[in-house]
Every structure is written in C-alpha cells, then in structure tokens.
Amino acid sequence: MLDLTSKDFIFFDGAQGTMLQGYGLEPGRRPDILNLLAPEYVENMQRLYADAGSDLICTDTFGCNRRALRPEGKSPEEVISAAVAVTKRACGGKAGTVLDMGPIGEFLEPGGDLTFDDAYDMFREQAVAGWKAGADAVLAETMSQLQELRAAILAVRENTPLPVIALMTFTESGSTYAGCAPECLALTAKALGAAATGINCSLPPDRLYSIAERIASAADIPLCVKPNAGMPDDDGSYRITPEEFAEKMAPFAALGVKLAGGCCGTTPDFIRAIRKVYAGLTPAAVKRDGSLRICSQSRVKRADEIGPIPDTREMTEKSGVLFLPLPDGCPDGEAFSLVSAAQEDSDLPMCILTRDGSGLDGALRAFCGVAGVRGPEDRIRDTAAKYGAVLI
C-alpha cells in the first residue's frame, strides 16, 4: 500500500506513451495492448524510471476501460492483470506499482450520453482488476469533468482498499475544460477520501503554479503535481530540458507538494533532475483555510456564511446557495434524479434538506461537489460522512 508519510517527497515517473512511440509504437495504436503483445518494451521503459529514482511507477493502462478495449477484443481485467505484472517486474522492489486510470473519453450526462452509473462501473472494473493483480494504489488522472473524477474515486474507495490519487488537467484560464475550479477539486477529493490530489498534464510547471497554489490552500490533503515538459512543437518534440523543468518544479515545495513527477514529454532524465533539485529542499508548512465549505464544480461557499435555512418544500435559491428539499420517503433513485435535474439549471453550491433522511444517499451521490445537509442528525450523519457532506 502507498505510504505518504514514508518520505519528505515522493517521486512519480514521467511520460510513457511518448517513450513507447520512440520504441516503435505506431501512431493511433493503443499503448496498453503492448502489455500483452510486447511486454518487454513496456518493462524496459518502466525500468528506466525505476533506475532514475521514481518511487511510484504507473501501469501502462491509461484509458483501459471496456469501451475503449472492445475493438481490440480484450477485457480490462485481461490487460490490467498483464500490465500490473509488467510494472511490478520493472519496479524490481525499488518502486510502488500504481494503477493508472484516465478519463473514459466521453462526456457524462447532461453534456453527453454517458451516465454516472456507467462511468462508475467501468472504473470499478479497472480498480478491482488492479487490486486483484497486486497494485499498491490507483492514480485517476487527466480528468476534466469533476463528476467523472467523483465516479472514479467512489469506484476505487467502495470496491477496493487501495488509496486513490485524484488529478485533473487545467487550462491557463484557471479551470478545467469542463469548468471545474481548483478549489472545488481539492474540496471534493478530500470529501470523498482521496489520499492526494492535484494537477497533471496540460502545461509546463511555471504556468501551473497559481492553479496548484489554489488547490493547496483549499484542502489539507497531500498535493501532487505532474506537469508537461512545455508544449510540443509542430513535429511533436518538446524543447524544455530536464534541468529547466526541475528548476521550475522547485517552487512547488513551498506549496507543500508531496508527490512530484512529469507528464507528456518528460523522461527518466527529468525524474533524475527533479530528485536532484528536491534533495536540497524541505517540505513547507502550508497554511490552509480550515473553515467548513460546500461547493459545486465551480463555486465555493463557507458554511458559516449560508445564513438561515429556509423553511420550504420547494427548491429555493438564497444567498448563493441552492436549497433542495427531498420528499418524505424519497427513494434514492428519485433523489438522484432530482439533484441531477437541479444541477442542469444551476451551478450553485447545494444544501439538501430532508425531514426523515430518506433519499440522502442518492442525492449526495448525484451532487457534483460537496453538498451541505440539513436533517435529523441521527439519521443523516453516517450518509453525510460517506460523501464528505457538511452538516448545516
């Protein structure tokens, strides 16, 4: 199992796909199939990261879900089992094996046709396969939809004992392509029990610093940063050197970064350079806002600023919060639908009101963020804790 207290800093690996292309992987060909067809290529590549000092090495399973693998005639369990075995051989006892889970590649409802339950089930298949094969942790990375990341975290947490690290990919606008704010990632990941959270991909280190700063200030769980080696040229090459990359990674130590590594364009030399720079650094004591907060995917509200709870049986918007009452005796499925419909029309933080506690599990499962809850405490306490909801 992953132990985040074992060292001051823990180092991930870097890019795998670009290195495998250098070994002759044809453009458009799935890298994860190499775990079955040419495992020696994957093992040799990953061993280079182990030799470079990576403490954690990801399996070659990014996007390894049942829909993506169907054209190959392979199942997630078949590919993931092989991939974990390959990575464990490459690690040789020097590094931990982390199951890599990327996005499914489809938009979840209401922006697309993929349901939350379908996304959850696909992530569950991957997580269980990785756990059974002997992975030490799970990395859910490169997510842009907070609801998809929620499905991934819940799938891991509810079906395996493995710790999960939850990363999203941000643009220079300060949000993901799907509109998730950094603070909302941090609050949601902590609420659902992620072991660490942060950023990967998209941009070089210096252009991710302000986003990482917002994540680090929002929740007191370990920060993980895995930037790109700059932006690729027209020919797909990256110009930033390992030394330049490592120098730009140094300021993240002051944010309290715990896990550091690289994404697209990085190589084992980048990991060596990061380790060299971080050898002279110490973890920072970061001051975080300890107030209770609720959030949607893009907005945050302090719990002590919510004000009086309206006495209503109709959905009500007040002081930047959407209050949603659940009917007495509400089934979980109906509550899930009520919250999902409300989120289609509003991106406000939500406070769910219940008089008997019924339907609360379905409502909190549907809400994309961290909800507030008001109801009989003895009936709602455990369900609220399951999703990290805030008792109002």
Q: Is residue 287 part of a domain?
A: no
pLDDT given for residue 236 in this prediction: 67
Q: Is residue 301 part of a domain?
A: yes
Q: Looking at the structure, tell me whether residues 58 and 139 fall in a common domain.
A: yes
Where in the sequence is the domain holding 304, given as residue range(s)? 293-391
pLDDT given for residue 26 in this prediction: 74
Q: Is residue 1 part of a domain?
A: no
Supply the CATH number for residue 89's domain.
3.20.20.330
Q: Looking at the structure, tell me whether residues 274 and 297 fall in a common domain.
A: no
Collect all residues with Cβ–Cβ distance below 8 Å to 20 and sequence separation of at least 6. Answer: 31, 34, 41, 42, 45, 60
Collect all residues with Cβ–Cβ distance below 8 Å to 341 and sequence separation of at least 6. Answer: none
State the total domains in the chain.
2
Q: Residue 107 gets which letter from DSSP? A: P
Q: Is residue 2 part of a domain?
A: no
- Of the residues 237, 255, 278, the one at which a domain ends: 278
Q: Looking at the structure, tell me whether residues 302 and 258 fall in a common domain.
A: no
Q: Is residue 154 part of a domain?
A: yes
Collect all residues with Cβ–Cβ distance below 8 Å to 294 and sequence separation of at least 6. Answer: 300, 301, 303, 306, 321, 349, 350, 351, 369, 370, 371, 372, 389, 390
Q: Is residue 35 part of a domain?
A: yes
Q: Looking at the structure, tell me whether residues 236 and 350 fall in a common domain.
A: no
Token pair recorded at residue 389: 């909801």
Q: Is residue 178 part of a domain?
A: yes
Q: Looking at the structure, tell me whether residues 203 and 329 fall in a common domain.
A: no
- Of the residues 254, 278, 302, the one at which a domain ends: 278
Q: Is residue 285 part of a domain?
A: no
pLDDT block averages, 10 residues each, the chain of length 392: 85 92 77 94 97 98 95 96 98 97 95 95 98 98 98 98 98 95 98 97 94 93 94 76 97 94 96 96 78 96 92 90 97 98 96 97 98 96 97 95
Q: Using a cut of 0.95, tell me whether the model's pTM lies above it.
A: yes
Find, among 111, 110, 156, the residue nearest to 1 by Cα: 156
